[in-house]
Amino acid sequence: MKLWDKGTPVNKLIEDFTVGKDRELDLYLAKFDILGSMAHSIMLESIGLLEQDELEKLMTEMKAIYQKADKGEFTIQNGVEDVHSQVEAMLTEKLGDVGKKIHSGRSRNDQVLLDLKLFTREEIRQLVEATNELFDTLINQAEKYKDQLMPGYTHLQVAMPSSFGLWFSAYAESLVDDLTLLQAAFKITNQNPLGSAAGYGSSFPLDRQLTTDLLGFDSMNYNVVYAQMGRGKMEKTVAFAMSSIAATLSKLAFDVCLFMSQNFGFVALPDELTTGSSIMPHKKNPDVFELIRSHCNKLQALPNQITLMINNLPSGYFRDLQIIKEVFLPAFDELMSCLKIANFALGKMTIKENILEDDRYQYLFSVEDVNRLVQQGVPFRDAYIQIGKQIQQGEYQPSKQVAHSHAGSIGNLCLPLIQQKRNLIIDSFDFKKMDSAIKTLLK
């Protein structure tokens, strides 16, 4: 079944190529397509294109189909082109001509726009929750190990004293910025495109504000041409936010792999979280973080993939946009799995204490000793030269005392303030509004 079928058969080779992976990928969108059809049907009844009894029959049947989709029992039959066609076919089979009426005033173009936005805002909510959990784990580890010093590096050379509190909380605060980008992506996503039809509106007196309210959107994409132009742009914007989270995870994973190596030995994972070698019995490999690193590096390419798919397209709909689903829809599961496994592993990570007692790290304290001379009245440049000569002549004896007290330093991690920044961002996501709307729609 094809919603556009006018009785002329399509070459099988062409049909298979143009349908592509839609039957498989549209299963991601099934629940959301039904929700959109429910809201659209209520709106059609409100403007006189459906009778009250017809709406009641449609709503009852769509709720039943929704339950199937929610349980993972929804399928797209062979010969049916996509999720939109499948839902309409199921309604028509059960309700006859009433099922054929729900497409009035809309196109598959605004249906898929709507489905993608409803799907994406729910996936964003799950990413926010998972990122928030990882943030909490990092903050807890920072608090637990805040007094344990470790080397800091520049150019992979021993540089200055750091601490595990600084290291863990650095990634926590990085996630706050990632959440800020995700919040912007959510705001762009949470606008209703329904009613734009094929991109140029409809001669029916569609009540677009009603569907906006029924689906819990913040607002609508008012201009129908822009609503259609938003296809691809929304996905790219969300992909940039996802890639930001992925970049944080990738950098963190690299640190863990480095710090777990015997040459560093700063952190450790329980044996059951590591893997071994088929030939070397001593190996305890950080494969989980190596895979997180690779998955997240792959995810950082997502915005560029989408950009290249939509580049140089003029206004209006083009079939190019269909291929975005192949890279965009599965990406959420990939990032979610990385967030969850990172959170699990980092929560069980332990650290090595008293690392800086090793003489190889004695030069870490050179800046501390320069600053100590400055506090005694020696000009900074003279103090720098004085300590530098001691190092060159092999006479340097570090004091091994660290006294950092300014905001964000070893002695003042500002963990409550970082948490406060996080809380402000989390509170700015208005998930309650969309939840309430969908709950009411499904009653």
Nearest to 85 by CA among 15, 157, 189, 137: 15
For residue 400, is it within any domain? no
Mean pLDDT across the stretch 19-39? 87
Mean pLDDT across the stretch 333-344? 98
Q: Are residues 164 and 270 in the same domain?
A: yes
84 catalytically annotated:
no
Percent of all residues in the chain with a pLDDT value above 90, rounded to a whole number: 83
For residue 404, is it within any domain? no
Q: Are residues 381 and 329 in the same domain?
A: no
Distance separating the N- and C-terminal Cα atoms of the chain: 30
Q: Are residues 241 and 296 in the same domain?
A: yes
**Cβ contacts of residue 290 below 8 Å, gap of 6+?**
253, 257
Reply yes or no on whether the pLDDT at 5 is more than 60.
no
Mean pLDDT across the stretch 205-217? 98
pLDDT of residue 8: 66
Q: Report strand pairing: 157-163 vs 149-154.
A: antiparallel
Q: Are residues 130 and 243 in the same domain?
A: yes
State the Cα–Cα distance between residues 223 and 196, nearest whole angstrom: 8
Question: pLDDT grade, residue 20 (50/70/90)?
Answer: low
CATH classification of the domain holding 242:
1.20.200.10
For residue 221, is it within any domain? no
> Model-level pTM?
0.92
pLDDT of residue 4: 44
Question: pLDDT grade, residue 308 (50/70/90)?
Answer: very high
pLDDT tens, position by position, 45-95: 999 999 999 999 999 999 999 999 999 999 998 888 889 999 999 999 999
For residue 200, is it within any domain? no
Which of 40, 46, 104, 155 is labelled catalytic?
A: 155
Q: Are residues 158 and 304 in the same domain?
A: yes
Mean pLDDT across the stretch 278-286? 77
Q: Are residues 433 and 313 in the same domain?
A: yes
Cα–Cα distances in angstroms (integers) from residue 441 to residues 216, 288, 362, 436, in the given order: 10, 42, 66, 9
For residue 176, is it within any domain? yes
Reply yes or no on whether the pLDDT at 19 is more than 70.
no
For residue 40, is it within any domain? yes
Q: Are residues 339 and 258 in the same domain?
A: yes
Nearest to 31 by CA among 101, 95, 115, 108: 115
- In sign, the C-alpha dihedral spanning 333, 334, 338, 341 is positive
pLDDT tens, position by position, 104-157: 999 999 999 999 999 999 999 999 999 999 999 999 999 999 999 999 999 999
CB-CB contact of 193 with 227 (8 Å):
yes
Q: Are residues 163 and 91 in the same domain?
A: no
CATH classification of the domain holding 34:
1.10.275.10
State the Cα–Cα distance between residues 126 and 337, nearest whole angstrom: 11
Reply yes or no on whether the pLDDT at 196 is more than 60.
yes
Which of 219, 277, 294, 315 is labelled catalytic?
A: 277
Domain count, the chain: 3
pLDDT of residue 11: 65
Q: Are residues 146 and 259 in the same domain?
A: yes
Mean pLDDT across the stretch 306-332? 91
Mean pLDDT across the stretch 386-392? 95
Question: What domain range is 380 assigned to?
Answer: 360-392
For residue 214, is it within any domain? no
Q: Are residues 364 and 351 in the same domain?
A: no
For residue 202, is it within any domain? no
Q: Are residues 67 and 170 in the same domain?
A: no
* 3-state DSSP assignment of residue 401: coil
Q: Are residues 144 and 156 in the same domain?
A: yes
pLDDT of residue 324: 94
Mean pLDDT across the stretch 305-326? 90
Reply yes or no on whether the pLDDT at 2 is more than 70.
no
